[in-house]
Structure 1
Amino acid sequence: MKRREFIAAAAFLAWSGRLRARGRRHRLGFLAVGDGGGQALNQAERALFDGLRNNGWIDGSNLIVDYRFSQPPDRLPVSIVDLIALRPDVLVVAAPQATEALKSATATIPIVFVAVADPVGLGLVQSLARPGGNITGLATYVPGSFVAKRIEILRELVPGASQIAILVNPGNPMHKLLLADEVPSTARKLGVALPIVQATTAEELDVAFASAAAQRADAIIVFGDTLTVVEAPRVVALAAKHHLPAIHFSRQFASDGLIVYGPDIADLFRRAASYVDKILKGAKPSDLPVEQPVKFDFVINMKTAKALGLSVPTLLLLRADEVIE
């Protein structure tokens, strides 16, 4: 073969190899919470795709992404069946209820979870270092100080607060764990009453906040949950209506809520992309340790504080990552 012919043949083989590589697209199934009841991805969830692009995975190019939503709750079983039927190479899921349901539905498809507080306590993984099975991901907190830290912040803002309500969803398995252990032990340790108000639907949120006000709560802790994320505007409006200083879990509440203190959820989704990348390249979930947050949001909204008649201590402002004027 002449040199020119050899070079042309080599170039053709390289080109055809790249063409075939582009043709082999992996499939990702994303079981998301969504924004406004599951019509589109919320802002934090969209960060997953920033991370995927940084790892070289482009939806529509070398990756096919199928979306299904876990909200409203009656959509969850159908969404899971739909995603599994598509035979994805990897599944990404947000929130504990959906993660538990997805793990129960498949023991073979790799799963990456995001925004699950205590995956060990929930029995999703054997340990953070060695998850075992077909699931791994990113947790949202370190057990033991979740409630106490929020009480500390609220007491700085509302001196003398002795009764702080906690809004929970009884259908959230993580909330059940906290109510069984950390909430009562924190109440005893700090000498504060922590009345529990519950909501599983948007309408029950109204009743829950009215109950907290009727019990003369000095403030309220809003536990992170799919319901409160989807109904964030309603939650903020109810806190204002009942004149309850509230501390929220995610940055989604920062624009109108009083205080946000919690992990940077968008950063967790962005980091989840590296798990997807490794799994698509052959890694097993059981060999990928569960990671915890490295970035936290602490935001104080001064407009809301003034509307509630609160004077925010300077030391608290100095500790905040962001102060909204």
Structure 2
Amino acid sequence: MADIRRRKFVAVLGGMTVAWPLVTRAQQPVKKIGFLSVSSPGAHAPFVAAFNEGLKEVGFLEGQNLAVEYAWAEGNFDRLATLAAGLIHNRVDVIAAMSGDVSIRAAIKASSTIPVVFISGSDPVQTGLVASLARPAMSPASA
């Protein structure tokens, strides 16, 4: 009888050992990225695909350990401030601002504590988006 209980105990312990990595992986904190664009989803589909592929390459998978909240202004520049505020309200960890300086400025103005990541075709120091490239914090001129 003791032999049977020992086998059950070992079997349960073995099952826990196998299941434990799955449980800890499932409990990873989910990071939230806000994706702000003046454009529309259709126009940015290739960029979104590349964005997600890059995140995947460094271990972030949407629906597993990453949530991306997309905010599309659909060409309406006046909506950017409201969309950026919505991303802040939803507690994103970082904002990826796309589609030019207008989106970037809206994201920077929405919060001084949430990092804004962007690509700019112009010199971000010269346009006042950042104070310097050495320490690319928000420029006082962009606030």
TM bucket by the smaller chain?
0.7 to 0.9
Q: Percent identity?
A: 31
The 2-side partners of 1:63 and 1:99 are apart by 22
The 2-side partners of 1:122 and 1:83 are apart by 24
Q: Which residue of 2 aligns with 1:26?
A: 31
3-state SS in 2 of match to 1:115? coil
* 1:45 and 2:47 correspond: yes
The 2-side partners of 1:130 and 1:61 are apart by 32
**Cα deviation code 1:279-300 (max 9, x no counterpart):** xxxxxxxxxxxxxxxxxxxxxx
* 1:111 and 2:113 correspond: no
The 2-side partners of 1:79 and 1:25 are apart by 21
Q: Which residue of 2 aligns with 1:9?
A: 16
Q: Partner letter of residue 97 of structure 1?
A: V
3-state SS in 1 of match to 2:27? helix
Q: Partner letter of residue 76 of structure 2?
A: P
**Cα deviation code 1:129-154 (max 9, x no counterpart):** 221359xxxxxxxxxxxxxxxxxxxx
**Cα deviation code 1:175-212 (max 9, x no counterpart):** xxxxxxxxxxxxxxxxxxxxxxxxxxxxxxxxxxxxxx
The 5 A counterparts of 1:60-75 are 60-70=63-73, 71-75=75-79
Q: Which residue of 2 aligns with 1:58?
A: 61
The 2-side partners of 1:78 and 1:41 are apart by 21
Among candidates 82, 89, 95, match of residue 93 of structure 2? 89
* 1:77 and 2:81 correspond: yes
The 3 A distance-change label for structure 1 pair 116 and 86 is: farther
The 2-side partners of 1:62 and 1:40 are apart by 25
How far 1:54 sits from its partner (Å)? 1.7
The 3 A distance-change label for structure 1 pair 62 and 129 is: same
The 3 A distance-change label for structure 1 pair 44 and 122 is: farther
3-state SS in 1 of match to 2:85? helix
How far 1:97 sits from its partner (Å)? 1.3
Would the aligned equivalents of 2:35 and 2:97 in 1 still touch at CA under 8 Å?
yes
Give unmatched runs, 5+ long, in structure 1.
Answer: 135-325
The 3 A distance-change label for structure 1 pair 132 and 81 is: closer
Would the aligned equivalents of 1:92 and 1:112 in 2 still touch at CA under 8 Å?
yes
How far 1:96 sits from its partner (Å)? 0.6
**Cα deviation code 1:44-68 (max 9, x no counterpart):** 5222122112222222222111111
The 1-side partners of 2:46 and 2:21 are apart by 39
Q: Which residue of 2 aligns with 1:322?
A: none
3-state SS in 1 of match to 2:134? coil
Would the aligned equivalents of 2:38 and 2:80 in 1 still touch at CA under 8 Å?
no
The 3 A distance-change label for structure 1 pair 115 and 57 is: same
Q: Partner letter of residue 72 of structure 1?
A: N
Give unmatched runs, 5+ long, in structure 2.
Answer: 1-5
Q: Partner letter of residue 118 of structure 2?
A: F
Structure 2-normalised TM-score? Answer: 0.75
Structure 1-normalised TM-score? Answer: 0.36
Q: Which has the higher contact order (CA 8 A, sep 6+)?
A: 2
